[in-house]
Amino acid sequence: MNRKDWELLNGHKAGVFWFTGLSGSGKSTLAQQAEKELFKQGIRCAVIDGDQLRKGLNIDLGFSEEDRKENMRRAAEVASMFLDLGFIVLVPMISPSSTAREAIRYRFQSGEFAEIYVQCSLETCEQRDPKGLYKKARKGEIREFTGIDAIYEPPKHAELTVDTEIYNMESSVNLLVDFVTHNYAKKI
């Protein structure tokens, strides 16, 4: 079977949505909440979370630039498998390098991929610090932490920007779900 067969069975088009932003910006929460809303609408979707991948498939990778690229490459390959099964695929990963994100974008064909920038200031992310990682990075317990001693390059051409300092989670989810359903997960 090919993707068109799966899309017909699912009743909607497939697509990969790559969430990028600082730790604590709300990427994973946004993806998980959007998955629930899309499911309610009968849209088959999957979340491929960067943190979860690092606990299993990518457990052998560190946080060097090369390891981050490999982490993203593996996530893109998993996303591609779900895409071929006709899913909407939500991939929340920090993805700090614009060059690495562009390489992921070019892995997919036109119309299959959208970059979602979950925008939030470093100050707000540090205040949120849901995993206590910023505190550890500031103490020097974590090296090469994005936003502290490793660079984060915001996207210049994201298909959608969701500013989680302006929008609460419900509004952010609605914005994302509307974007997905109107542009990608069109009923067929």
Query: How, if at all, do strands 88-92 and 113-119 pair?
Result: unpaired
- Secondary structure of residue 28 in the 3-state scheme: helix
- Secondary structure of residue 155 in the 3-state scheme: coil
Contact indicator for 35, 45 with CB cutoff of 8 Å:
yes
How far is the C-alpha of 179 from the C-alpha of 173, rounded, in Å?
10
Active site residues per annotation: 95
Contact indicator for 16, 91 with CB cutoff of 8 Å:
yes
